[in-house]
Amino acid sequence: MKPPSKELVHLGKRATAFGKQIQWSEALALLSEAVRRGPSPDVTLFNIVVNVCDRGLQWHRSLHLFRQMRSLSCFPDEASYSSCMTALSRSSRWELALEIWEEVQQKLAQGSLKGNTFVYNSAMAAYEKANFWRQTLNLLEAVTAAKLQPDTIGFNTAMSSCTKEQQWQTALQLATALKTWSAATYSVLMTAWGTGGHWIYALRLFYENDSLKANSLALGALLSALKDNSQWRHALQVFQDVDGYRSSDAVCWSTLLGSCAQAAVWQEALQAFHVMKAKKLPLQAMTYSAVMSALEKAHRWRDALNIFEEMANPPTPQHDHISAVNSAIQACVRGVQWETSLHLLSKVAGPDEITYSGVLLALTYAPTIRLSQAVALYVEAREKGVLSLQHPEAGTIDLHYYPSEVATLAVFSSLLGLLTDACHGRPVHDLTIVVGAGHHSGMAGAKVGPAVAQLLCELGIPMQRPRTGRLRVPATALQQ
């Protein structure tokens, strides 16, 4: 292979420097200039710029460059495939990454590509993003079959894939086969133990390794494991023991706030939030969402709404993030602030199921129930496909997991539609309502079923109980 010219080497160094500053637009301009005026870019320069775009989360530009290479007589090598798959996986475009992996497999079979550990690791990362843990394990075995040596990154990816799919015991078995553990390995291990409910082992592992106490990745993994197991007191203690209040990692702080929010310990959450502000740490939407959730659960809805106002004015990064808006709407429900909830709904770009459910609750909790607005909003959410109550059986709506107030609105709206059809002489079918047996309602017992039954009784509409967890309104009753 002909060695690159001095001009190309110089361009490569400049592009690499842009990458360190995540200046992807400058790197693209440099490559474009080389294409127009020379020297003609080689595969190495393309690979460097693909990596720079990856660091800037510009997956579509990485993919475009990868596809552009062949038109300029630069044929992708192992680094090209690896870099492009990594860029796509990092941005959750795993479908595209796996399409490229199929091309790699064909070239490996043809012998036109040798393959290396980096290519396999990138493919494993795509499978991990896709939650295909078995395929990730198969690839780890394929590395050995290809007479390559699996590295720590590959093992960590496979362990993470298993952990995400609740296969935490398999993840632990993989760890025993790994000779050298990195901070990422310890982090995945602690996450696996947290998933399996063995948070005490994660805690012990953290305290037994002094090198982990100064590592933000490991600290974040332990805090997540404790949060997932509702161990907020231990999370606070760990943070204090490692002098976490000097930590500048926003993710660790947000995870700690999440633990406090779960337990509704609003004083601790608010204290951590104020420390973050004093340290001038980046306050992301999930940070605001966590502290608002803690305040809302403690019935301090005014404080929660004040935090939201602080978040939106002046605008912070991701200030329209849906989780923070949802937390603010839940505060409106707690404070019976239905007008404010409607205002928040009008400002959010992509309301989800939780957004609509929260506003519907606020409307039904209003001093004078806003029934017409609630029904209209429910219909809007259904038409947008946000509230999905469809059931595989025709003429059936599924109210599982919905609050009783939203469930009764769904029944009311469905009845309105059927009665309108009946009045216009159109065919009317039975309405089957799946209300569940109350297993998801906790100690208080079933809520949705009794609420729907009471609504039908108040409306004077007869109903049947074909089996446990279901109600049926006969078509004949609606026609009459």
Quick one: tokens of 67?
A: 């596809």
431 has which bridge partners? Answer: 473
210 has which bridge partners? Answer: none
pLDDT in tens, 343-352: 888 888 788 8
- Mean pLDDT value across residues 300-313: 84
pLDDT of res. 313: 65
pLDDT of res. 286: 79
pLDDT of res. 438: 62
Least confident of 205-214, 262-271, 345-354, 436-445: 436-445
pLDDT of res. 443: 47
**pLDDT exceeds cutoff 80 at 2:** no
Q: Which residues in 353-391 are b (16+ Cβ under 10 Å) and which e?
A: bbbbbbbbbbbbbbeeebeeebbebbeebbeeebbebee
Domains of the chain and CATH, by start: 396-479 (3.30.1370.110)
**pLDDT exceeds cutoff 80 at 270:** yes
* Residues above pLDDT 90, as percent of the chain: 24
**pLDDT exceeds cutoff 50 at 179:** yes
Quick one: tokens of 448?
A: 């949705």
pLDDT of res. 455: 84
Quick one: angle between helices 250-262 and 216-228, nearest 10?
10
Number of C-beta neighbours around residue 179 at 10 A = 6
pLDDT in tens, 396-410: 888 877 778 778 878
- Beta carbons within 8 Å of 392's beta carbon, 6+ residues apart: none
Q: Which residues in 140-159 are b (16+ Cβ under 10 Å) and which e?
A: bebbeeeebebbebbbbbbb
CB 284 within 8 A of CB 317: yes
CB 295 within 8 A of CB 301: yes
pLDDT in tens, 454-465: 888 888 888 888
pLDDT in tens, 347-403: 887 888 888 888 888 887 787 767 788 888 888 887 887 776 655 566 888 887 777
- Mean pLDDT value across residues 274-280: 82
**pLDDT exceeds cutoff 60 at 441:** no
pLDDT of res. 309: 85
**pLDDT exceeds cutoff 80 at 282:** no
Quick one: tokens of 296?
A: 């809302």
**Is the peptide bond prior to 314 cis by the omega test (within 30 degrees of 0)?**
yes
If DSSP states are collapsed to H, E and C, what string results for 177-230?
CCCCCCHHHHHHHHHHHHHCCCHHHHHHHHHHCHHHHHCHHHHHHHHHHHHHCC
Q: Residue 267 carries which DSSP code?
A: H
pLDDT of res. 164: 87
pLDDT of res. 308: 87
- Mean pLDDT value across residues 106-119: 91
CA distances from 139 to 77, 117, 186 (A): 20, 11, 22
**SS3 label, residue 105:** helix
The alpha helices in 367-447, defined as continuous H runs, are 371-383, 404-423
pLDDT of res. 416: 79
Least confident of 25-39, 66-80, 235-249: 235-249
Query: What do you get for the CA distance between the two ends of the chain, in Å?
Result: 86
pLDDT in tens, 14-60: 989 988 888 899 999 999 988 888 888 889 999 999 999 999 889 99
Quick one: tokens of 283?
A: 């306050």
**pLDDT exceeds cutoff 70 at 3:** no
- In this prediction the pTM is 0.65
- Mean pLDDT value across residues 203-227: 89
Sole residue written with tokens 């506003």: 359
> How high does pLDDT run on average in the chain?
85
Q: Pairing relation of β-strands 470-473 and 396-398?
A: unpaired
Sole residue written with tokens 């203690």: 237
pLDDT of res. 437: 72
Number of C-beta neighbours around residue 436 at 10 A = 20
